């Protein structure tokens, strides 16, 4: 299911490289499509990091005086979440970032290596004045912040999630029986899927929907041994009320934070014959529906942009790498080619579903020129492109510096008319025309 953030979604996760394993300062490449599936005659498109944003920002807020320091190079290619830049509304930004320093160890705690101290600032626009300030401690270096509607947000804490508001006042929001792994939300922030590791027995609350794992298979039984992992429990619940709509329990193997969802359900895909991928919509209320096959010579990556629109990242057997937007009723809205030197794509989506920002790391050469590992010296840089969701027209492209492969350096306002990025030591804010409305009959 979805990320967003991937996390979620969690956002849109990687085309070919998002699931790459990390080895020190290098990252492994997955297998490329075979020459038979990806003919040499296809022109190899390279993206280039632009020298300057287009259009230029309407105002800039220096990040150094706010206490932000550029992370060291050793953080590159680790996909760690070190920054989160988010709009609370059209005129206020929540800027949070890791701050170095020693962390206190709680009684009985064996290690604090993965904990982070986060500085949180509410900035008014356009002045950049700090309205409110707070310091948080988050339990690891995974994504730690997710925006809700109406200026509220969720923050990961050791035993679940807390909810914050525009004054940085916090209160408990979600506590799970086990260890919270990740969450996903639909683009409209109406429904959330919370994924946690829990014991195979006793993971179901009284009256909670879903099946109880009474006789787990061998993998789940092994997971109950001392020091082992347990069962993955995924709860879909309404964000506003906390009502649990759907629960699934599966033996823990190596699931990822990539469960694309809208407010009605989530998508599953399976590999069909040849280069066909089959998509099935599974509804929280019960039942499912096939959405039709998609052709791609590499594994599909996809995310909901809104309740009615999906954005795919795929390898077309004739046209090369591309983004394709389509409705859930199997109508293609637009297509555009993408660079074959991109890795770690991430999506940010305006809460009205009308604008999409896609950021990527760019390699100096096409992915097929690298045998197994990519290192820091192979990176050209990082960039972002902002599109209209309805027609695919690009309205902004810009470099991103420093490189933050865990994301968090791009934000879209609720209306989609403002974009904020972290670039060149500052928060740059752009004013864009109003996005076009969603397609008729969505």
pLDDT in tens, 140-175: 999 999 999 999 999 999 989 999 999 999 999 999
Q: Is 345 helix (H, G, I), strand (E, B) or coil?
A: strand
- The dihedral built from the CA positions of residue 429, 433, 435 and 437, taken in this order, carries a sign that is positive
- CB atoms closer than 10 angstroms to residue 199: 15
Spans of all domains in the chain:
22-101+114-201+229-431
The whole-number pLDDT of residue 38 equals 47
- The predicted model gives 15-30 an average pLDDT of 41
Please say if the pLDDT value at position 421 is more than 50.
yes
pLDDT tens by residue, 120-147: 999 999 999 999 999 999 999 999 999 9
C-beta of residue 130 within 8 angstroms of C-beta of residue 122: yes
> Which runs of E-coded beta strand occur in 81-189?
83-89, 92-98, 116-124, 130-138, 145-147, 153-157, 160-164, 170-175, 179-185
Span 22-101+114-201+229-431 CATH architecture: 7 Propeller (2.130)
Does residue 205 have a pLDDT over 80?
no
Distance CA 118, CA 256 (A): 25
Q: Are 68 and 392 in contact (CB under 8 A)?
A: no
Inter-residue contact 145 to 96 (CB < 8 Å): yes
pLDDT above 70 as % of the chain: 79
Q: Could you read off the pLDDT of 340-389 as tens digits, one per residue?
A: 999 999 999 999 999 999 999 999 999 888 877 899 999 999 999 999 99
Query: Residues 328-343: pLDDT tens digits?
Result: 888 999 999 999 999 9
User: Whole-prediction pTM value?
Assistant: 0.84
pLDDT at 439: 85
Report pLDDT for 101: 66
Q: Which of 410, 320, 343, 373 is nearest to 19 (CA)?
A: 343
What is the rounded distance in angstroms from the CA atom of residue 314 to the CA atom of residue 299?
A: 7
pLDDT at 225: 45
For residue 254, pLDDT over 60 is answered with no
Greater model confidence, 197 or 4: 197
Whether 167 and 132 have beta carbons less than 8 Å apart is answered as yes
């Amino acid at each position: 299911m979805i990320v967003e953030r991937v996390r979620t979604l969690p956002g849109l996760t990687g085309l070919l490289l998002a699931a790459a394993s990390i080895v020190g300062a290098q990252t492994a490449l997955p297998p490329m499509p075979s020459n038979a599936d990806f003919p040499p005659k296809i022109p190899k498109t390279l993206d280039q990091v632009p020298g300057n944003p287009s259009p230029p920002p309407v105002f800039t807020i220096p990040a150094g005086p706010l206490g932000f320091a550029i992370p060291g190079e050793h953080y590159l290619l680790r996909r760690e979440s070190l920054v989160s830049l988010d709009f609370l509304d059209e005129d206020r930004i929540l800027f949070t970032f890791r701050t170095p320093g020693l962390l206190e160890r709680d009684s009985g705690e064996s290690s604090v290596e993965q904990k982070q101290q986060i500085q949180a600032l509410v900035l008014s626009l356009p002045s950049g004045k700090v309205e409110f300030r707070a310091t948080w401690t988050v339990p690891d270096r995974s994504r730690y912040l997710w925006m809700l509607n109406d200026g509220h947000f969720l923050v990961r804490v050791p035993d679940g999630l807390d909810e914050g508001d525009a004054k940085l006042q916090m209160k408990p929001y979600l506590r799970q029986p086990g260890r919270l792994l990740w969450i996903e939300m639909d683009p409209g922030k109406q429904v959330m899927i919370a994924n946690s590791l829990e014991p195979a027995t006793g993971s179901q609350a009284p009256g909670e929907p879903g099946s109880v794992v009474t006789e787990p298979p061998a993998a789940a039984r092994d997971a109950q041994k001392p020091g082992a992992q347990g069962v993955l429990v995924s709860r879909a619940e309404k964000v506003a009320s906390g009502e649990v709509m759907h629960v699934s329990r599966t033996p823990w193997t190596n699931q990822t934070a990539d469960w694309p969802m809208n407010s009605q359900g989530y998508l599953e895909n399976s590999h069909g014959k040849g280069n066909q991928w089959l998509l099935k919509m599974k509804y929280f209320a019960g039942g499912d529906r096939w959405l039709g096959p998609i052709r791609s010579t590499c594994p599909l990556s996809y995310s909901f942009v809104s309740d009615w629109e999906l954005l795919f990242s795929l390898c077309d057997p004739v046209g090369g790498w591309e983004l394709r937007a389509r409705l859930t009723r199997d109508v293609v809205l637009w297509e555009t080619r993408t660079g074959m030197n991109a890795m770690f794509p991430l999506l940010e989506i305006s809460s009205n579903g009308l604008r999409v920002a896609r950021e990527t790391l760019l390699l100096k050469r096409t992915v097929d020129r690298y045998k197994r590992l990519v290192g820091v010296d192979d990176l050209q840089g990082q960039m972002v492109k902002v599109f209209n969701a309805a027609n695919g027209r690009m309205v902004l492209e810009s470099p991103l510096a420093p490189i933050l492969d865990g994301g968090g350096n791009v934000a879209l306002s609720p209306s989609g008319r403002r974009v904020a990025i972290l670039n060149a030591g500052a928060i740059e804010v752009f004013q864009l025309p109003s996005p076009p409305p969603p397609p008729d009959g969505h």
